[in-house]
Amino acid sequence: MLKNPLFLIIFCSLSLLFSCSSHDSTDKGSGKAIGLISSSDLVSKKEYTSLVEALQAPDSVYKLKLSGLHLTTLPMDITRLTRLQELNIADNDFEVLPECIYGFQNLQELVCYGNKIKTLGEHIGQLKNLKMISAYDNLIAILPPEIGELENLEALILSHNKLTSLPKEMEKLHALKELNVSENQLSTLDFNLGAMPKLESIDVFENRFLDRDIDALRKKFPKIEIQNDDCVYNNDYQALSTQYLDSAGIKRKIWRGSDSTAIGFLENGDSVFAKIGGCGIFSSCIEWHLSNETHSLDDSVFWRGKALWLTKRMKDKEFERFIADHQIKWDNPTEPNMRNFSIIGKNTGIDSIDNGNSYPGFTIFKTGAKSRIIRYGYGMDL
């Protein structure tokens, strides 16, 4: 037994140095917020995938991805990354969020799906600049009331957890646009959807709601897309496809009714084709026609980066996470002017194929000496 008080003090201090799981999240000296940047500027920042490399230039690190490493905690050194604004710790073995995360006051995106996390913790409300939390495929049974303090949160993904209720404080999320609580154990919503002025969609598929309760919510809040099945509750191709282009700031566009496709035109000569809709078999297909691109189809690294850039440009968060967070498999080319890239990994939140092991990806086409097409989506072709 350790009876020497001085030894105990030294022992405890050393413990704090090496693991942030014991870090006091109220310590304002750690993770001090320095220089919040815009979402558009954040997109262009380098994503570090090694903490060792990141710590060599801590003031340059805005994005850090430590996924799939079987981590259960984070080293205390991570608090040196004072400019961190996007953190991905998905597909690890965390049972709780390491407390030092709460010190990153400028964190905008927190990706922690595929762990064993049981709660987001009462200190989650300290992350005032969070815009997105992706915490699906965990063991979250309780959402703390402090979630309502996230005044800038736009997307909250909590599908495939153990939630039986949601706190009333949810209605304080005035910036929230997307809420996904599918595949939980909810039977009611204990907060007022009408108090959330920017809410566009909520997915409650595979819970314990009665159909009549969902129908009543749809009638009461007709402007909110409430999903309770395996498709979006909207079969208007023109509205969905045109809205998709609008959300990306594409102003010049036409509607081609012959095949239910919206076509947007950019100043540099590129064009974007969007076909989105359906119920029962909901489908989405996006094509970006590059008018001046000569890069070889064989460069898989380049085209993955290009596809990721496209999803960011189109503000397509679902497919951005889909491409960024999973391993890319380059299929053997079957035609000289086409390459297919499929995704291998855990549940993406997008309909899977091949018994849950393989997922849709994206395709590159060579259509001329200086023209290429990037296509991504699922369920249909243009």
Q: pLDDT of 275-286, one tens digit each?
A: 887 654 457 788
Cα end-to-end distance, the chain, whole Å:
72
* Most confidently modeled range among 233-247, 248-262, 280-294: 248-262
Q: Measured between alpha carbons, how far is 290 from 310 in angstroms, rounded to an integer? A: 11
pLDDT over 70 (residue 2) = no
Picking from 139, 167, 171, 137, the residue whose alpha carbon sits closest to that of residue 153 is 171
- pLDDT score recorded for residue 104: 92
Phi, psi (deg, nearest 5) at residue 310 = -60, -45
Using alpha carbons only, give the angle 61, 62, 68 rounded to the nearest 5 degrees.
85
* Most confidently modeled range among 44-53, 250-259, 310-319: 44-53
- pLDDT score recorded for residue 360: 58
What mean pLDDT do residues 86-110 have? 93
- pLDDT score recorded for residue 25: 36
Phi, psi (deg, nearest 5) at residue 44 = -80, -10
Minimum mean pLDDT among 3-7, 66-70, 284-288: which range?
3-7
**CATH architecture under which domain 13-227 falls:** Alpha-Beta Horseshoe (3.80)
What mean pLDDT do residues 225-254 have? 77
- β partners of residue 179: 156, 202
Contact 123, 150 (CB under 8 A): no
Residue with tokens 């991570």: 78
Q: SS3 for 20? A: helix
pLDDT over 50 (residue 287) = yes
Contact 176, 203 (CB under 8 A): no
Q: SS3 for 319? A: helix
Query: Tokens at residue 200, please?
Result: 């566009």
pLDDT over 90 (residue 256) = no
More confident residue, 373 or 156: 156
Q: Measured between alpha carbons, how far is 217 from 328 in angstroms, rounded to an integer? A: 40
Q: Sorting pLDDT into bands at 50, 70 and 90, what band is 165?
A: very high
pLDDT over 70 (residue 378) = no
Domain locations in the chain as residue ranges: 13-227, 237-378
Q: Sorting pLDDT into bands at 50, 70 and 90, what band is 145?
A: very high
Q: Measured between alpha carbons, how far is 88 from 94 in angstroms, rounded to an integer? A: 12
More confident residue, 27 or 256: 256
Minimum mean pLDDT among 137-151, 272-286, 297-311, 346-360: which range?
346-360
Q: Tabulate helix, strand, coil % of the chain (nearest 5).
A: 25, 20, 50
pLDDT over 80 (residue 170) = yes
Picking from 162, 161, 143, the residue whose alpha carbon sits closest to that of residue 153 is 143
Mean pLDDT score of the chain: 79
Q: Measured between alpha carbons, how far is 310 from 288 in angstroms, rounded to an integer? A: 8
Q: Residue 269: CA atoms inside 13 Å, Cβ hemisphere, count?
A: 8
Q: Give the residue ranges of DSSP H helices in the chain.
A: 5-18, 39-43, 51-54, 211-220, 237-247, 300-313, 317-324
High-pLDDT (> 90) share of the chain, %:
36
pLDDT over 90 (residue 338) = no
Query: Which residues, other chains included, contact 249 with Cβ-Cβ below 8 Å and sequence gap of 6+?
Result: none
In angstroms, the Cα distances linking 96 to 13, 122, 190 are: 22, 11, 25
- β partners of residue 265: 252, 271
pLDDT over 90 (residue 332) = no
- pLDDT score recorded for residue 359: 47
The DSSP element (H or E) to which 283 belongs, if any, is strand 283-290
Report field, pTM of the whole predicted structure over 0.85: no
Picking from 88, 86, 97, 82, the residue whose alpha carbon sits closest to that of residue 33 is 82
pLDDT over 60 (residue 182) = yes
Q: Helix 317-324 to helix 300-313 angle, to the nearest 10 degrees?
A: 160
In angstroms, the Cα distances linking 105 to 39, 41, 110, 150 are: 15, 18, 12, 12
High-pLDDT (> 70) share of the chain, %:
79
DSSP letter at 258 equals T
- pLDDT score recorded for residue 56: 94
Picking from 271, 239, 237, the residue whose alpha carbon sits closest to that of residue 252 is 271
pLDDT over 80 (residue 190) = yes
What mean pLDDT do residues 97-117 have? 92
